[in-house]
């Protein structure tokens, strides 16, 4: 009995030390903002809840439990929710319970059940965080989950990024008016058997999800079938996989620094996307090409969720071999290759059925102006990094280049334009032909003019000379909204 208590105390001290280190390293100790704890009722999340409860006073943590019933297991799910609610109440920690129909969501969005459950779960966590004025969710993923994740990436043909697995701090991007989340995983160095042992030592019997035994889910098949088989060849297979992950993470960190330098040197904001000089891109090392494209994708969307290694390979291949072609990417992004540049951003919208702009309309910066078919909103702000993602009719320009005396007009014979990424000018007619703008729509596209030069072909491209740079002091933001 004494040996059991001694072992339990030693385990608790080790787990608390690991979790404390992660929370302090991420600046989450003594924070006034609540930490949302995702608790399913299983051993991993229950161990996490118990540990954070122990650390509540020493680290000044403000905790809030979130539990989602995915609507897949009937009464069993209801019992899990009741269990989590009672455990949170016993620790005097507030809890939010939710229920969603994952099966209906899966059907409506043509997803696998695993993908649908993931999206619904993080959507729920985002709503809970918003309601609690929080932005951080703590998850109970363990070293076993990490090994399974890496193995899944391997089977799917992942590149180096996939081998790094999950990180202690990650981000879930905002979508559908939901806020983005910081995802913290303080148990990644802890084995699953340790969370089970800790719960039992604390006299807590966690819930077991019966779907974890179902062979219809890929992750379950890996855990139940493939990993035990691989461990018959190497009993320390999981440790080897995690060692590979740590090595890949170190290499990834170095390459990422190189990719950031390449992004700063070769890429620029094109209003609704990012443009990269093609000639210099082609000269990069192969791995750096892929990492630069991933970096730009993440910059636009907030994460690389949905972007796979095959997408990156196709993008690199197209840049090396073709011009005038596009690739549709996940999450509504389009990759375009032209003679002098490549571009990653939101797809070109077809111009709405707006009337031809007749005459010239001065813009007030800042201020709002109505012209036939459009409302134009402008504002002035201090220089900032990043790009606008509000749509193809929104853009940010360098105030030092375009000034504040802007006007809107239609195209004129002889107009010339310097699309971002080009060193020289081309006729506006040629530009519209290259962009495959239907002839009947060309007069309907407004132009933003600065000092008789085209600064923006609305909905398509800004001028290279009007782009933001590291030296930008003020930014002119423009938004065209079609009116009926």
Least confident of 111-125, 166-180, 214-228, 311-325: 166-180
Least confident of 23-37, 63-77, 123-137, 378-392: 378-392
Indicate if the pLDDT at residue 245 is higher than 60: yes
Least confident of 121-130, 312-321, 347-356: 347-356
pLDDT of residue 11: 93
Closest CA to 201 of 451, 346, 1, 382: 1
Q: Which band of pLDDT confidence, cut at 50, 70 and 90, is reported for residue 358? A: confident
Indicate if the pLDDT at residue 144 is higher than 80: yes
Element (H, E) at 183: strand 181-184
Q: Which CA distances in Å does 289 have to 84, 125, 220, 266, 329?
A: 47, 35, 35, 11, 17
Residue range 33-51: average pLDDT? 96
Start-to-end CA distance of the chain, whole Å, equals 79
Q: What is the DSSP secondary-structure string of 63-125?
A: EEEEEEE-SSSTHHHHHHHHHHHHHHHHTT--EEEEE--HHHHHHHHT--HHHHHHHHHHHHH
pLDDT of residue 390: 35
Indicate if the pLDDT at residue 392 is higher than 90: no
SS3 348: coil
Supply the Cα-derived Rg of the chain in whole angstroms.
27
Indicate if the pLDDT at residue 423 is higher than 80: no
Q: What angle do CA 417, 418, 423 make, to 5 degrees?
A: 150
Most confident of 104-108, 297-301, 453-457: 453-457
pLDDT of residue 280: 92
SS3 368: strand
Mean pLDDT score across all residues of the chain: 86
Q: Which band of pLDDT confidence, cut at 50, 70 and 90, is reported for residue 193? A: very high
Q: Which band of pLDDT confidence, cut at 50, 70 and 90, is reported for residue 6? A: low
pLDDT of residue 8: 83
pLDDT of residue 299: 83
Considering only residues 422 and 232, tell me which one the structure prediction assigns the higher pLDDT: 232
pLDDT of residue 347: 62
pTM tops 0.75: no
Pairwise CA distance, residues 334 & 461, whole Å = 14
What DSSP character marks residue 222? Answer: I
pLDDT of residue 391: 43
Domains of the chain: 2-233 (3.40.50.620), 266-346 (3.30.465.60), 361-482 (3.50.40.10)
Indicate if the pLDDT at residue 388 is higher than 70: no
């Amino acid at each position: 009995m004494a040996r059991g208590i001694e072992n339990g105390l030693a385990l608790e001290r080790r787990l608390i030390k690991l979790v404390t280190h992660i929370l302090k390293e991420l600046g989450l100790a003594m924070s006034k903002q609540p930490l949302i704890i995702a608790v399913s009722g299983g051993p991993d999340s229950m161990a996490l809840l118990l540990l954070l409860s122990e650390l509540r006073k020493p680290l000044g943590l403000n905790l809030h439990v979130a539990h989602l019933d995915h609507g897949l297991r009937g009464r069993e799910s209801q019992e899990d929710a009741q269990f989590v609610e009672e455990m949170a109440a016993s620790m005097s920690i507030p809890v939010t319970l939710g229920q969603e129909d994952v099966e209906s969501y899966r059907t409506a969005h043509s997803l696998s059940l695993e993908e649908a459950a993931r999206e619904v779960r993080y959507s729920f966590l985002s709503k809970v965080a918003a309601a609690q004025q929080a932005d951080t969710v703590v998850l109970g993923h363990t070293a076993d989950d990490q090994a399974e994740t890496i193995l899944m990436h391997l089977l799917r043909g992942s590149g180096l990024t996939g081998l790094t697995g999950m990180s202690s701090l990650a981000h879930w991007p905002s979508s559908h008016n939901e806020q983005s989340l910081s995802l913290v995983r303080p148990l990644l160095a802890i084995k699953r058997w340790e969370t089970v042992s800790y719960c039992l030592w604390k006299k807590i019997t966690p819930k077991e999800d019966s779907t974890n035994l179902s062979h219809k889910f890929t992750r379950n098949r890996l855990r139940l079938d493939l990993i035990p088989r691989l461990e018959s060849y190497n009993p320390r297979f999981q440790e080897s996989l995690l060692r590979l992950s740590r090595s890949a993470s170190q290499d990834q960190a170095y390459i990422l620094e190189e990719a950031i330098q390449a992004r700063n040197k070769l890429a620029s904001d094109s209003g609704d996307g990012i443009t990269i000089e093609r000639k210099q891109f082609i000269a990069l090392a192969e791995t750096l090409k892929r990492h630069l494209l991933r970096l730009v994708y993440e910059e636009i969307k907030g994460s690389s969720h949905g972007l796979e290694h095959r997408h990156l390979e196709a993008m690199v291949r197209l840049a090396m071999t073709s011009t005038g072609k596009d690739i549709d990417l996940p999450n509504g992004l389009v990759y375009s290759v032209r003679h002098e540049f490549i571009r990653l951003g939101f797809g070109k919208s077809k111009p709405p059925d707006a009337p031809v702009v007749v005459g010239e309309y001065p813009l007030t910066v800042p201020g709002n102006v109505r012209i036939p078919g459009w409302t134009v909103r402008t504002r002035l702000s201090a220089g900032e990094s990043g790009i606008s993602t509000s749509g193809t009719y929104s853009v940010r320009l360098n105030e030092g280049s375009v000034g504040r005396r802007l006007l809107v007009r239609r195209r004129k014979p002889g107009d010339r334009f310097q699309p971002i990424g080009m060193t020289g000018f081309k006729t506006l007619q040629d530009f519209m032909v290259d962009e495959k703008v239907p002839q009947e729509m060309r007069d309907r596209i407004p132009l933003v003019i600065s000092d008789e030069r085209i600064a923006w072909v609305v909905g398509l491209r800004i001028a290279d000379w009007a782009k933001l740079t590291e030296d930008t002091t003020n930014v002119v933001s423009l938004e065209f909204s079609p009116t009926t």
